[in-house]
Amino acid sequence: MLVLGIESTCDETACAIVRAGREILSNVVSSQMDLHKEYGGVVPELACRRHIDVFIPVLQQALKEAGVTLAEVDLIAVAQGPGLIGALLIGLNAAKGLALGLNKPLIGVNHIEAHLYAALLSQPEAVVFPCLGVVLSGGHTALVKMDALGLYQPIAETVDDAIGEAFDKVAKILDLPYPGGPQIEALAKNGDPLRFSLKAGQVKGRPLDFSFSGLKTGVLYAVKGQNGQDARPFTNQDQSDLAASFQQVAFKDIIDKTLLAADKYQCQTLLFGGGVTNSRTLRAIFAERAAHLQQLWPPAGLSLDNAAMIAGLGFHQFQLKGRDTLHLEAATRMNFT
């Protein structure tokens, strides 16, 4: 079964062809980073316009690289949400138009769930259930117990900023370009992680939930002073030390809570998804502190937003639940099903 995956939830326009949920024939991603860089974050209106401009060329490229025609596609899987409403509508309407015109089944996929599937794409049998899904992306931070593909129990989430969002906002404070994660990781290599005393947020009565907005404010105060005015000259070394301190506190909080949750919910496997899992530093910390657990990380090219993960999960979802109708609606927020 050949599945065409379509992704347009935020600032990447992507199409992929995946055979039977595991063999990637093509995975084309058109990133809008250049467009949003100068604003320090994604501008929804600009994102939508760019999706419209590049969707057809991205689709054509994905078909060409895979060596298949639209007529040979068996299923169209599209990211239904969560995401920016205008951006979602472009991918969703393109998918509906293709499904209608080609008379092919359509399936809507949860983008976050697909991030978790990315680590399983080439080896879905590798996961040992129940496992703990760890979602670390620009828009979401969550822990979810997975009893099987499609059978999930949400455990924890962020009450304010997502972890990737926190990296991007801290980067902005430090005058670094968007997206901030890779910039901070690079800067932190030369920094002293113990130099600044920062704290990750704890949510009262919910020990597994995340809160990163206070940590971000801690970085702001370190740069500008408590009242935003008593800033002192900030050297390159200060900047590296602050990046290292922020990164270490944020990642320690994530691993502490992940280990607590794995223990509480008796999960022997961690399944990671989302753009922040690109971080070599994060992977190294987990390798050291969670060596007793099986760890499945997304391979290169599948951490950040892509359509191969949408096509891959779409295949399984179609087997489990059958097709969606053309009434499928975009969902800016979406729970795990």
Mask for 251-290, x = binds Zn ion (CB under 5 A): ----------------------------------------
Q: Is 305 in the site for Zn ion (CB under 5 A)?
A: yes
Q: Is 168 in the site for Zn ion (CB under 5 A)?
A: no
In the complex with ligand KG4, the residue whose CB is nearer, 13 or 99, is: 13
Q: Is 336 in the site for ligand KG4 (CB under 6 A)?
A: no
Q: Which of 113, 161, 209, 305: binder of ligand KG4 (CB under 6 A)?
A: 305
In the complex with Zn ion, the residue whose CB is nearer, 9 or 240, is: 9
Q: Which residues contact 235 (CB under 8 A, 6 or more apart)?
A: none
In the complex with ligand KG4, the residue whose CB is nearer, 84 or 132, is: 84
Q: Which of 8, 13, 26, 137: binder of Zn ion (CB under 5 A)?
A: 137
Question: Minimum CB separation from ligand KG4 for residue 325, in Å?
Answer: 26
Structure tokens at 256: 């502490």
* Cβ atoms of residues 78 and 106 within 8 Å: yes
Q: What is the strand order of the sheet 106-110 is part of? A: 23-31, 12-19, 2-7, 75-81, 106-110
Q: Which of 3, 4, 10, 94: binder of ligand KG4 (CB under 6 A)?
A: 10
Q: Which of 122, 182, 221, 223: binder of ligand KG4 (CB under 6 A)?
A: 182
Q: Is 303 in the site for Zn ion (CB under 5 A)?
A: no
Question: Minimum CB separation from Zn ion for residue 309, in Å?
Answer: 9
279 binds, among ligand KG4, Zn ion, none (CB under 5 to 8 A by kind): ligand KG4
Q: Is 7 in the site for ligand KG4 (CB under 6 A)?
A: no
Q: Which of 91, 181, 191, 218: binder of ligand KG4 (CB under 6 A)?
A: 181
Where does this chain bind Zn ion (CB under 5 A)?
137, 305
Where does this chain bind ligand KG4 (CB under 6 A)?
10, 137-139, 164, 167-168, 179-182, 185, 274-276, 278-279, 304-305
